[in-house]
Structure 1
Amino acid sequence: MAEYKLQYFNMMGRAEPARLIFAYAGVQYKDERIEKSQWPEIKPTTPHGKLPVLHVDGKQLAQSRVIERYLGKVFGLAGENEWETAKMEELQACVEDFLIEIQPWFKEQDNAKKVEIFKQLIESTIIPFITAFENILVTNGTGYFVGDKISYADLAIFHIFWFMNSKILPGALRKYPKLHEFVEKISAIDSIKQWINSRPKTEA
């Protein structure tokens, strides 16, 4: 069995989908959380000066989405064929686009400006994103986003909507029955539930 270590800051952020993959797969790893004060010293040791970094038997792999895909393949949570693999990558790209679009809201420190940015994002970005992913679940008809069983893409998407429903727009998913059902279903998986209940409590 390989030895795994996941390095990231003490937050959910871009490392949380990988942590959820480890939790679901039941694979042990070192969840190394870097404090901001440690970062200047650690940064030069990373492949591209960014986190997260996955260490596998001493080798390093960077970029959060690449890490998710790698773990998905290793733990049997990737596509059954090339088409499913491509669709999972497509959904990852959509999530990434969404995170880039809402980044100004996360970074803004002025509360008044933050509220104004959020009002704009609701109509231009957030509701279209939720609606699109609700429609994907309706179209696929299996309760999952690709194929008929859980994948690493489902866990990455779950985190976005769990965070949205818990932190950004509490209860908003009740208007989207398939997404609400999806988040409730993944949350109820024993290993995922245990991780959510035991993980360090952070705001983001």
Structure 2
Amino acid sequence: MAPKYKLTYFPVKALGEPIRFLLSYGGMEFEDYRFEVERWPELKPKMPFGQTPVLEVDGKMINQSTAISRYLAKQVGLAGSDDWEALQIDAIVDTITDFRLKIGNYHYDDDPASKKKKYEPLVKEIIPYYMPKFEEVVKNNNGYFVNGKLTWADLYFVAVLDYLNAMVGKDLLENCPGLQALKEKVLAIPSIKAWVEKRPQSEF
């Protein structure tokens, strides 16, 4: 009997979307429970470590979006064919996370003066450092992040892209044809395409 999955998250893509992509890729039915931000104080004490997204598997709750994604990737055959390949995938995903956190350090700064100071280093140093490197990795791996084939690193990157773009306020794939082609390949996967067409609309 197939496991029963329930994802609990805010009504956005953001860190929940890699999980949704992987569940959809594997053809696994899941309850996509999206709660309004106003309900978070009520729900937070019920979540492991007070965090979300949370995945329930047959009623057992687990937090940490990257760990959840890695677990699901193993279920659907996208986690690497050996330990070295799995390590390469993990390294890319962790680097994407490093990049996201640097962007988030700017985006979530509530002090207008401090945020303004962070903008120029973000667009003139951080983004120009990371994006060409991601582009180069994909170019050197036949259009994918690892070993010239689809892995969960590819799904993860495309799934969080709208979130990254929204935080920065621009399209990060400008001048990155390899990454743009990767995005198009992932979004053309029939199960991913079907998910994107039916998912609730949100900016990020």
| Residue 84 of structure 1: how far off its partner (Å) | 0.7
Q: What is the alpha-carbon distance in structure 2 between the residues aligned to residue 65 and residue 29 of structure 1? A: 18
Q: What is the alpha-carbon distance in structure 2 between the residues aligned to residue 162 and residue 178 of structure 1? A: 17
Q: Which residue of 2 aligns with 1:47?
A: 48
Q: What is the alpha-carbon distance in structure 2 between the residues aligned to residue 45 and residue 39 of structure 1? A: 10
Q: Which residue of 2 aligns with 1:23?
A: 24
Q: What is the alpha-carbon distance in structure 1 between the residues aligned to residue 112 and residue 191 of structure 2? A: 37
Q: What is the alpha-carbon distance in structure 1 between the residues aligned to residue 170 and residue 7 of structure 2? A: 29
Over the matched positions of the two proteins, sequence identity in percent amounts to: 36
| Cα 1:39/1:144, change in 2 over 3 Å | same
Q: Which residue of 2 aligns with 1:102?
A: 103
Could you tell me the TM-score, scaled by structure 1's length? 0.89
1:182 matched to 2:182: yes
> What per-residue deviation string (whole Å, max 9, x for no partner) do you get for residues 150-188 of structure 1?
221110012234555688465552412211111121122
Count of aligned pairs: 203
| Cα 1:166/1:45, change in 2 over 3 Å | closer
Q: What is the alpha-carbon distance in structure 2 between the residues aligned to residue 124 and residue 33 of structure 1? A: 35
Give, as a single letter, the amino acid of the residue that structure 1 aligns with 2:80.
Answer: G
| Cα 1:197/1:170, change in 2 over 3 Å | farther
Could you tell me the TM-score, scaled by structure 2's length? 0.89
1:91 matched to 2:102: no
| Residue 54 of structure 1: how far off its partner (Å) | 0.6
Note the aligned Cα RMSD (angstroms): 2.1
| Cα 1:36/1:166, change in 2 over 3 Å | closer
Alignment of 1:131-142 (within 5 A): 131-141=132-142
Q: Which residue of 2 aligns with 1:154?
A: 154
Give structure 1 stretches of 5+ with no counterpart: none
Alignment of 1:58-73 (within 5 A): 58-73=59-74
Q: What is the alpha-carbon distance in structure 1 between the residues aligned to residue 160 and residue 33 of structure 2? A: 22
Contact 2:162/2:203, CA 8 A, preserved across alignment: no
Contact 1:162/1:183, CA 8 A, preserved across alignment: no
Give, as a single letter, the amino acid of the residue that structure 2 aligns with 1:195.
Answer: W
Contact 1:7/1:53, CA 8 A, preserved across alignment: yes
Q: What is the alpha-carbon distance in structure 2 between the residues aligned to residue 73 and residue 133 of structure 1? A: 23
